[in-house]
Amino acid sequence: MTTQIDIVLYEGFDELDAIGPFEVFGAAAAYGADLSTRLVTLDPTETVTASHGLRVEPDGVLADAADSEADLPNLLVIPGGGWNSRSEAGAWAEAQKGAVPAAADAYHEAGVTVASVCTGGMLLAEAGLTDGRHATTHDGALDDLRASGADVVDARVVDDGDILTAGGVTSGLDLALYIVEREASREVADRVAKELEYERRYDVFRAE
């Protein structure tokens, strides 16, 4: 059965947080992993502008998790960006608005595994999803994550079952490769890393 992955985009998201995993998942699919990946937004829009100015056309809109007939993804990925600088666009701004954290919470409640990259973890924290759970985020936001009630772990990727978190920016590559290994195989994940000429970091904490 195909594992559907939706990566949520919002104004000010960090480019690599989202596009890095998107490329990993796409490459894995080309190597036979049964994965399908979409770039989605909460509301209809033609383009989304990332933190460094990249403009992206999303594939569609995130389905309403409360809709019993909605075709929900198996995995939701939330990128970060703009948290540490308290930017007017980015994770900090989205935490103040509340829509992305609410969507993450609703999807988790519906049984979807939720993952974050970098300070996307703070949006999970805002939703209460990391309360008492093992988690990590960008080094500059670890104190914020700890203060939110998460059990902060010094690891590049943290697997707490249905909540997955990754450290700063390039950690999203390790998170995505770990997901490929979890959903497909170590062989496929390693082939993707070789194609990207990326040296995998196997610094993964798995909760018991």
Q: What is the CATH number of the domain that holds 19?
A: 3.40.50.880
For residue 167, what are the domain limits?
A: 3-206
Looking at residue 89, its pLDDT comes to 97
Give the pLDDT of residue 208. 80
**Rounded CA separation 148/74 (Å):** 26
pLDDT for 69 equals 86
How many angstroms separate the Cα of 10 from the Cα of each of 24, 83, 132, 133, 197?
Answer: 20, 13, 27, 25, 29
Distance CA 202, CA 157 (A): 8
Whether the pTM exceeds 0.85: the reply is: yes
Distance of CA 79 to the CA centre of its chain: 5
- Counting the structural domains of the chain, the total is 1
pLDDT for the residue numbered 168: 92
| pLDDT tens-place string over residues 66-75 | 888 889 999 9
pLDDT < 70 stretches in the chain: none
DSSP 86-148: T-SSSHHHHHHH-HHHHHHHHHHHTT-EEEE-TTHHHHHHHTTTTTTSEE---GGGHHHHHHT
For residue 147, the one-letter residue type is: A
CB atoms within 10 A of CB 140: 13
Q: What is the pLDDT of residue 81?
A: 97
Q: What is the pLDDT of residues 159-202, one digit of tens each?
A: 999 999 999 989 999 999 999 999 999 999 999 999 999 999 99
pLDDT score recorded for residue 1: 87
Helix H, strand E, coil C: the string for 64-89 is: CCCCCCCCCCCEEEECCCCCCCCCCC
